[in-house]
Amino acid sequence: LIVEDEVRLADMLRRLLHRSGYTTDVCHDGAAGLDNALSGIYDLLVLDVMLPKMDGLTLLRTLRAQGSTVPVLLLTAKSELQDRVAGLDSGADYYLTKPFEGEELLACVRALTRRQPELHDPDILTCGDLELNRSTFQLTCGGRSLHLSRKEFDMMELLMRNCGLVLTKESLLLKLWGYESDAEDNNVEVYISFLRRKLSHLHSRVRIKTLRMVGYCLEVGT
Ligand code: CA
């Protein structure tokens, strides 16, 4: 989630992150930013300090007071030394001083979105007879292997990380397409059907089960 009132900078950030494969939402004021951030669907907040309606530090403190542990990358102006200190004290994980290089921002984003240490976050995710390679986007079952598109991969990864747990259609939609997209429930159904076709092609015993009116979960067959 990008919370930045300078429209051109927000747009530059959005395009930069998009090119690196991230899905983003953009808010141009602090109140909307807090509202979105509290949804809990984001993996990272890129947060400006000086914002209309609610400043970034108030947003951050409110978010932390509500128990959110989402990583926060603060964007500050050069003159705002006290803001940087206050920002870290308020629960920011890191800050970048404007102007910054795109490469530097991407490195911060990569560092802050590493969910767990490498040791616990292996390249290969497994569930039942399935293996998902997070580097090559290959889905493997026994001797058979298929390549997944980016969206298929993101969806499969979410399902496998939550193997046996139900994911609602809405949470899949928000996680994979973000708030601001025009994607509808229908998109989720379409990608679920792509994945089902691939699972059947792989002769996997893992199935994507539909719970009517609730969502989807991976079921490991015997
Ligand atoms: Ca600003």
144-197 pLDDT, tens per residue?
Answer: 999 999 899 999 999 998 888 888 888 888 888 876 667 777 889 999 999 999
pLDDT exceeds 70 at position 117: no
In degrees rounded to 5, what are phi and psi of residue 35? -55, -50
Question: Is the pTM of the predicted complex or chain greater than 0.75?
Answer: no
3 C-alpha vs ligand 1 centroid, how far in Å? 9
214 C-alpha vs ligand 1 centroid, how far in Å? 40
21 C-alpha vs ligand 1 centroid, how far in Å? 25
Bridge partners of residue 132, in order along the sequence: 125, 139
Q: Hey, what are 165's tokens?
A: 């747990």
- What is the maximum span of the chain, computed from C-alpha positions, in angstroms? 62
For residue 127, give the nearest of 153, 154, 152, 164 by alpha carbon.
Answer: 164
Spatial strand order of the sheet with 2-3 comes to 26-27, 2-3, 45-48, 72-77, 94-98
